[in-house]
Structures are given as structure tokens and as C-alpha cells.
């Protein structure tokens, strides 16, 4: 019997997850729409089904349906300057269906603004339009180099308030035993995710880094339950076996690339071609690294610190240190920064980061223009030209190093 590969398993598990969420809604089980790096462990504890408008919006774009949804949202008065995930989702709410199918209607919303501030207004709009309660978790931005204890105190208070809100919404006492079980599973999944991604440091790199954007869907929507642990164990072991065999994704790996930002969901093929055609491999990315969220089980303070400490929620110095760490760890030859029109929180500092990273590490960088869901902000020809320039800069750096030796 042929062993199921992770790239096939993720499609099956995601389809089952979506189907189960719709069936759960029909059975009368509560459904929450949740932002991508919110502490879903609390919802798992109360047997609330979680679905993710961001995941759904990305899937709609991958199936070439985002423009239809955004046109609807823009016709309602929503500006093209706001996040294309939000526009895609708000258009979907009006349309009721999409290229990526349906989401079960929410009974509540859970919004955590550690990923960006756009979600705050987006989920307030959803709460009004859908007439459902909104649990808002306000994560303070870490302006200092370390997350301050006063921020953790603030977050623990919000977690405790969230528990009371969930008890009120569900009409039953909070299940602390199930919370601790979900926290343990979340930690296991997070560490397995990190172990799998860390194999990108191997020479040659054993995987196509673009695949991790697809695997990311499960660390978002299933972190904190058994299925996530099972899948990421499969992924980790599959990659470990390739490393043990000395097997690389590319036959002749020439360039090792780090990606910063969300991908172009509507045109992953352009990203794939611009790498593979030049024997370049994406060995790592700052974006999937957000879901490495280990903390001490049974400790809300440790959990609060983990959710507050994601790199999007940290200051410029931290981001620089994080990227230089990844460049060194994965032996990176060049960095591609996606200047994403939608994601201001992640991308506002990229030009400064690009210059600083090159100054510190000597590694060439380029900034490419685009958007996660809106193809109007992306030029494939321009993207290809800039990526080619990156490879040329890498070659020039190597030639100069060879002359010095």
C-alpha cells in the first residue's frame, strides 16, 4: 500500500474539516469565525467549531474567485485600500457562496488583533451585519525589545474575561480540563510545525517551501486538536526521511531563498516558476514562522506571552534580529520581500528592513510589489524581472567572494 504523502493528506484533511464544520452547524453545534492567530484553545475547550475567513479568502483567491467577491464589496462602498481578505470575505457574506464553497454561518466571532488592526473593524462590521456576538482580544503591540509584563497582565485579564463570555454564550461552565488538553495539543502541533520547517536548513533543502503555505492552513484551523498533531507528525517524519536519504527538492540546488510576507494566493504558479526555473528553492519564510507558539501548559501567562510575541506584533529591531537569525540558520543566499498592498502591519517597514538586512548580512534582497488576494496590484512580468535581478546579485556576490579568496 502506497504511503499517503503530506501534500495529499493536507487536501483530504482540509476538505474533511470544511465538511465537518458545515455538518456541525446543521446539528446545532456552535460555530465561531476566528482570526488566524487567536487563542482557539479556549473555543476547543467549549466544543465550539472554529472556521477562518482568512483561510477561506485565500482559498477563494487560489481558485480565481477573489475578484468577484471584491467587486461586490467595493460596489457596497468598501475602499480598495483596505485588506483584500476583508473585501473578499465581506463580498462573500453578501453573495452567500464562492469559488471555494461556503462557510457555516457564525454564532459568534472571535477577533485577535495581534496580526493587524484591520481585523478589528472587519469583525465589528461582521458582528453588525450578521447580528452575532463579538469577542475582541486586544493584543498590545510590543514597542520594546521584550514583551513587557504589564502587557501580559493585560492579556491574562482578557483571557479570563473571554472565559466568562464563552460561559455566557454557551450557557455552560468553562471546561478547564479540556482547555489544558487543547493547550498540550497546541504545543505539540506548534513544535512539530517548527521541526518540519527547520529541516529547511539541510543541504540540499528537502522540500518546496511554497508547500508550507498550503500546510499552514492546518496549523491555523486545527491547532489544539489531535488531527493537527497527527498531520504534522506525518509531515515532520516525511521530511526527516528525505534528509536522512540526502534527498533534495531540486536536483541541482543553486539558490537558497527566504520569503518575507504573504504569498500571491491567486498566482502561486508565478512564485513556483520563478524559483524552479532558476534552480532556486524557498528554504524558509517569516510568515509561517508566526504559528510557532510554544508555551507552558496550565499557565495563562505563558500562553499570553506566546500569542503577544509573534513577529508581526513586534518592533523593528526584533524583526531584524528574527530575519538575520533565519538567514543564518537556513544559509540563505537572497531574500524576497513581498510588499503586500493589503498587509500594512507586516509590510510597512520592508524597504527599511531590506536595506538593513543587506547591510548586516551582505545577503542581496529585492522588494516585489503585489497583494495577497487582489490581482490588480500584481504584475507577473515585473515580479519576474525583480527576482531575476536577485539571482544576478547573488551571482555577483559569489564572484566577488571567489576573487577575494
**Of the segments 57-61, 144-148, 339-343, which one has the largest average pLDDT value?**
57-61
For 256-311, write each residue's pLDDT tens digit: 999 999 999 999 999 999 999 999 999 999 888 888 889 999 999 999 999 999 98
97-117 residue pLDDT tens: 999 999 999 999 999 999 888
CA-CA distance, 31 to 102, in Å (whole number)? 13
pLDDT at position 1 is: 47
Going from N- to C-terminal start, the domains of the chain cover 6-175
Q: What is the DSSP string of 356-386?
A: HHHHHH---EEEEEE-SS-GGG--HHHHHHH
Q: Give percent above pLDDT 90 in the chain.
A: 88
How confident is the model at residue 212, as a pLDDT? 92
pLDDT band at 2 (very low <50, low <70, confident <90, very high): low
pTM: predicted TM-score of the whole model, two decimal places = 0.95
* Helix or strand holding residue 34 (H, E): strand 31-34
User: 253: which 3 cell numbers?
Assistant: 540546488
User: What is the percent of the chain with per-residue pLDDT over 70, rounded to a whole number?
Assistant: 99
Q: What is the mean pLDDT of the chain?
A: 94
Helix axis angle, 380-404 to 268-276, nearest 10°: 30
**DSSP secondary-structure letter at 63?**
T
Nearest to 41 by CA among 304, 225, 251: 225
Main-chain dihedrals φ then ψ at residue 60, nearest 5 degrees: -60, -45
Of residues 185, 197, 223, the one with CA closest to residue 39: 223
pLDDT tens readout for residues 78-88: 999 999 999 99
pLDDT reported for residue 348: 76
Q: How far apart are CA 317 and CA 392, in angstroms?
A: 29
Fold topology of 6-175: Rossmann fold (3.40.50)
Cis omega (within 30 of 0) for bond into 204? yes
Per-residue pLDDT tens over the stretch 332-344? 999 999 999 998 7
pLDDT digits (tens, 9 = 90+) for 170-189: 999 999 999 999 999 999 99
Measured distance CA(357)–CA(197) in Å, rounded: 22
Cell of 91: 463580498
Nearest by Cα to 362 from 315, 327, 405: 327
DSSP single-letter state for residue 142 = B
Count of alpha carbons within 13 angstroms of residue 10, beta-carbon side: 17
At 192-230, the pLDDT tens digits run 999 999 999 999 999 999 999 999 999 999 999 999 999
Sign of the Cα pseudo-torsion (357, 329, 331, 248, in order): negative
Taking every pair of Cα atoms in the chain, the longest distance, rounded to a whole number of angstroms, is 73
On the question of pLDDT at 388 being above 50, the answer is yes
* Main-chain dihedrals φ then ψ at residue 340, nearest 5 degrees: -85, 115
Nearest Cα to Cα of residue 266 among 345, 366, 378: 378
Peptide bond into 97 cis (omega under 30): no
Q: Which residues have a Cβ under 8 Å from the Cβ of 188 and sit 6 or more positions away?
A: 229
pLDDT of residue 405: 65
Amino acid at each position: 500500500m502506497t504511503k499517503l504523502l503530506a501534500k495529499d493528506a493536507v487536501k483530504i484533511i482540509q476538505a474533511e474539516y470544511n465538511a465537518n464544520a458545515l455538518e456541525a452547524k446543521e446539528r446545532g453545534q456552535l460555530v465561531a469565525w476566528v482570526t488566524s492567530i487567536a487563542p482557539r484553545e479556549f473555543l476547543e475547550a467549549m466544543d465550539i467549531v472554529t472556521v477562518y475567513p482568512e483561510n477561506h479568502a485565500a482559498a477563494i483567491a487560489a481558485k480565481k474567485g477573489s475578484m468577484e467577491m471584491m467587486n461586490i464589496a467595493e460596489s457596497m462602498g468598501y475602499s480598495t485600500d483596505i485588506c483584500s481578505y476583508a473585501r473578499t470575505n465581506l463580498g462573500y457574506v453578501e453573495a452567500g457562496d464562492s469559488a471555494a464553497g461556503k462557510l457555516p454561518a457564525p454564532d459568534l466571532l472571535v477577533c485577535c488583533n495581534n496580526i493587524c488592526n484591520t481585523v478589528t473593524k472587519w469583525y465589528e462590521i461582521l458582528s453588525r451585519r450578521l447580528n452575532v456576538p463579538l469577542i475582541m482580544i486586544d493584543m498590545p503591540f510590543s514597542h520594546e525589545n521584550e514583551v513587557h509584563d504589564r502587557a501580559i497582565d493585560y492579556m491574562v485579564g482578557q483571557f479570563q474575561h473571554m472565559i466568562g463570555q464563552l460561559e455566557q454564550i454557551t450557557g455552560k461552565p468553562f471546561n478547564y480540563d479540556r482547555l489544558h488538553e487543547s493547550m498540550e495539543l497546541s504545543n505539540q502541533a506548534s513544535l512539530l510545525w517548527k521541526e518540519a520547517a527547520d529541516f529547511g536548513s539541510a543541504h540540499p533543502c528537502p522540500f518546496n517551501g511554497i508547500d508550507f503555505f498550503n500546510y499552514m492552513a492546518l496549523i491555523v484551523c486545527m491547532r489544539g486538536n489531535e488531527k493537527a498533531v497527527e498531520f504534522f507528525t506525518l509531515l515532520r517524519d516525511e521530511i526527516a526521511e528525505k534528509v536522512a536519504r540526502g534527498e533534495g527538492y531540486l536536483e541541482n540546488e543553486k539558490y537558497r531563498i527566504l520569503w518575507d510576507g504573504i504569498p500571491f494566493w491567486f498566482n502561486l504558479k508565478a512564485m513556483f516558476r520563478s524559483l524552479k526555473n532558476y534552480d532556486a528553492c524557498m528554504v524558509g519564510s517569516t510568515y509561517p514562522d508566526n504559528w510557532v507558539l510554544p508555551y507552558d501548559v496550565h499557565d495563562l501567562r505563558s500562553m499570553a506571552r506566546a500569542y503577544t510575541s509573534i513577529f508581526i506584533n513586534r518592533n523593528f529591531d526584533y524583526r531584524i534580529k528574527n530575519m538575520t537569525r533565519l538567514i543564518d540558520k537556513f544559509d540563505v543566499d537572497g531574500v524576497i520581500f513581498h510588499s503586500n498592498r493589503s498587509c500594512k502591519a507586516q509590510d510597512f517597514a520592508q524597504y527599511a528592513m531590506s536595506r538593513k538586512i543587506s547591510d548586516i548580512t551582505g545577503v542581496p534582497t529585492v522588494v516585489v510589489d503585489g497583494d495577497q488576494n487582489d490581482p490588480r496590484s500584481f504584475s507577473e512580468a515585473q515580479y519576474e524581472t525583480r527576482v531575476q535581478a536577485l539571482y544576478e546579485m547573488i551571482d555577483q556576490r559569489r564572484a566577488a567572494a571567489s576573487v577575494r579568496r
